[in-house]
């Protein structure tokens, strides 16, 4: 069974009501590949605005979600609140949160379980630093991040994995097509052995790490690259070209 191509746009802490409305208008009016699933993740403040303006068939993700129900958790957002606002996805485990906010594998796994149990889809990020890559520990690091989730979540049907080499995020450096495909294949192999053969066949594995309109077509041709999680380029008109990479 062919896996449906998936492109996520992570706006990070960027945008205003006007600029996000402009991005949404551009997506609403663009001719997008109907065989590609598209999800965009604006800052929390603009989730409802984005959902109200974005056309049907395109989905909205939160950039984070807390691992507890509604309660005394200042500054956090619950699964229930996201669902109430029509938000269907969450990005979890992004390297910026792992590194800057010190979120460990267990916390990411708890949040993933809470999101999945509550009915959200999860874009689960994993990736290694330059030091870890140079030490030959890429697969070890990435699979240990995934194992924390696999220990808590048995049903992976709502998980999309995003492999993001930390050294290639926002740096302009991109893993070569071969490097990306090699890690994606290893992730799929790990899912097969640790979760199930069915999960390995069906789970979309995205590449994220300075994806642009220039490199997306070549990356999209790889057997185990099922889409992209796009950072800075998702704020630009060229995001449409990345969404349509499989058609190109």
- Compute φ and ψ for 188, nearest 5 degrees: -65, -40
Instruction: State how beta strands 205-207 and 89-92 pair.
Output: unpaired
Distance CA 59, CA 160 (A): 14
Radius of gyration of the chain from Cα atoms? 17
Catalytic residue ranges: 94, 164
CA atoms 107, 235, 215, 157: torsion sign: positive
Calculate ∠ Cα 185-226-97, nearest 5°.
Answer: 85
SS3 27: helix
Calculate ∠ Cα 126-114-35, nearest 5°.
Answer: 60
Structural contact between residues 105 and 145, judged by C-beta atoms closer than 8 angstroms: yes
Length of the chain: 248
- Report how far apart, in Å, the C-alpha atoms of 50 and of each of 15, 24, 45, 156, 160 are: 11, 7, 10, 27, 22
Distance CA 150, CA 195 (A): 7
């Amino acid at each position: 069974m062919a896996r449906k191509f998936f492109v996520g746009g992570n706006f990070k802490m960027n945008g205003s009501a006007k600029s996000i409305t402009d991005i949404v208008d551009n997506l609403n009016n663009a001719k997008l590949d109907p065989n590609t699933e598209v999800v965009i993740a604006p800052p929390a403040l603009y989730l409802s605005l984005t959902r109200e303006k974005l056309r049907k068939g395109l989905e909205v993700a939160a950039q984070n979600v807390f691992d507890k129900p509604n309660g005394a958790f200042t500054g956090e957002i619950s699964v229930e609140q996201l669902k109430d606002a029509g938000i269907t996805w969450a990005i979890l485990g992004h390297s910026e949160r792992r590194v800057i906010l010190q979120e460990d594998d267990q916390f990411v796994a708890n949040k993933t379980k809470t999101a999945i149990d509550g009915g959200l889809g999860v874009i689960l990020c994993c990736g290694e630093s330059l030091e870890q890559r140079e030490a030959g520990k890429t697969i070890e690091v990435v699979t240990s991040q995934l194992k924390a989730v696999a220990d808590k979540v048995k049903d992976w049907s709502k998980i999309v994995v995003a492999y993001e080499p930390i050294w290639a995020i926002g740096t302009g450096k991109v893993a070569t097509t071969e490097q990306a495909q090699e890690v994606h294949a290893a992730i799929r192999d790990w899912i097969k052995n640790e979760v199930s053969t069915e999960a390995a066949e069906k789970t979309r594995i995205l590449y994220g790490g300075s994806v642009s309109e220039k490199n997306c077509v070549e990356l999209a041709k790889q057997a185990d690259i099922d889409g992209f999680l796009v950072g800075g380029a998702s704020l630009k008109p060229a995001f449409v070209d990345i969404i349509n990479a499989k058609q190109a």
